[in-house]
């Protein structure tokens, strides 16, 4: 699945929403997943906001609050645990969550970067 964030400013709310959607479309990221969870832990940072994202067993659900939960559910992640470690300002938390999601890599990608096969990591 893909997810992104965007902000927009205008005199009227509908125009600001349109601008935010256009900005978000330009920064879409694909979230790598293993089944219904994340491939590994990640720490996202933006401004004073820090979010720790940890994979969870299947059926655990999304253990996250507020803005983090919204981003993870939109990204299609069904099983994850998260912890907010810094500021709880919603915009910083959302951007930190997206930053954490951009750091995720599948085992196949890491193996290709290192010039090894996935079985070498087991």
Q: Is 4 exposed, middle or buried (0-12, 13-18, 19+ CB in 10 A)?
A: middle
Q: What is the chain's percent helix, strand, coil content, to nearest 5? A: 40, 20, 40
**Total domains, the chain:** 1
Residue 83 covered by a domain: yes
Would you tell me how many other CB atoms lie within 10 Å of the CB of residue 94? 22
Residue 111 covered by a domain: yes
What would the pLDDT profile of 77-92 be if each residue is shown by its tens digit? 999 999 999 899 999 9
What would the pLDDT profile of 31-44 be if each residue is shown by its tens digit? 999 999 999 999 99
Q: Are 56 and 48 in contact (CB under 8 A)?
A: no
Residue 100 covered by a domain: yes
Question: Domain of 65?
Answer: 33-121
Kindly report the CATH number assigned to the domain that includes residue 103.
3.30.230.10
């Amino acid at each position: 699945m893909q997810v992104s964030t965007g902000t927009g400013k205008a005199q009227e709310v509908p125009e600001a929403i349109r601008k935010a959607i256009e900005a978000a479309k330009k920064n879409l990221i694909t979230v790598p997943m293993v089944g219904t969870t994340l491939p590994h832990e990640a720490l996202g940072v933006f401004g004073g906001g820090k979010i720790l994202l940890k994979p969870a067993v299947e059926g655990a659900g999304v253990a996250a609050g507020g803005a983090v939960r919204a981003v993870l559910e939109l990204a299609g992640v069904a099983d994850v645990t998260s912890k907010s470690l810094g500021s709880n300002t919603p915009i910083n938390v959302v951007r930190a969550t997206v930053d954490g999601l951009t750091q995720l890599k599948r085992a196949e990608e890491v193996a290709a970067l290192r010039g090894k096969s996935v079985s070498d990591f087991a």
